[in-house]
Structure 1
Amino acid sequence: MKHTDRGKSPGPDGLPAEYYQLFPAKWAQVLELVYAAQFRLGRMSKFQRRAYISLLFKKGSRLEPKNYRPLTLPNQDAKFGPKSIGLLP
């Protein structure tokens, strides 16, 4: 959680990274149980699979779909698992 950028837009749950950074030790315990269940079941919870998706205009004609790129805003807790695995030695 300490490696999460502050000031980023939250996902559909509305909880920014700063919310989880208030009590990182407590959230780590909770998320450890959540991720253990996910590994056991082989999938994320339906709430963690939710995200906002927006299209950002790049350049060129606004009438061409190829001139847009998707931007996905998942819930913060859905980002912690992959980030923590990536930080393992």
Structure 2
Amino acid sequence: MKHTARGKSPGPDGLPAEYYQLFPAKWAQVLELVYAAQFRLGRMSKFQRRVSLLFKKGSRLEPKNYRPLTLLNQDAKFGPKSIGLLP
């Protein structure tokens, strides 16, 4: 959580990174349980699965002319970031 950028827009839940940085040890325990359950069940929360497509240019009928955009809650970003920091 200490590697998360401050001052970024929060996700749909409205909680900024600074909120999680107040009590990182406690949040680490909670998020560990959440990620373990998601791994065990084989699915993510509905907010982690929300993707919008932004049109770039060209024909609107071509899928390649869109790029995916996700607005994630901060807690959804911690899992992948922490895996990337493992030795």
The TM-score with structure 1 as length reference comes to 0.74
The alpha carbon displacement at 1:62 in A equals: 14
What 5-or-longer segments of structure 1 have no aligned partner?
none
| C-alpha contact 1:56 1:68 (8 A) present in aligned 2 | yes
Question: Which whole-Å CA distance do the structure 2 matches of 1:16 and 1:55 have between them?
Answer: 24
Question: Which whole-Å CA distance do the structure 2 matches of 1:59 and 1:47 have between them?
Answer: 27
The alpha carbon displacement at 1:48 in A equals: 3.4
| C-alpha contact 1:49 1:78 (8 A) present in aligned 2 | no
The sequence identity of aligned pairs, in percent, is 97
Distance 1:64 1:16, change over 3 A: same
| C-alpha contact 2:35 2:79 (8 A) present in aligned 1 | yes
| C-alpha contact 1:20 1:27 (8 A) present in aligned 2 | yes
Match of residue 60 from structure 2 = 62
The alpha carbon displacement at 1:44 in A equals: 1.1
| C-alpha contact 2:47 2:72 (8 A) present in aligned 1 | no
The alpha carbon displacement at 1:39 in A equals: 0.8
Aligned-pair Cα RMSD in Å:
2.8
Within a 5 Å distance, the mapping from 1:1-89 to structure 2 comes to 1-50=1-50, 71-89=69-87
Distance 1:47 1:67, change over 3 A: closer
Aligned length: 87
Task: Specify which structure has the higher proportion of strand.
Answer: 1
Question: Which whole-Å CA distance do the structure 2 matches of 1:56 and 1:23 have between them?
Answer: 36
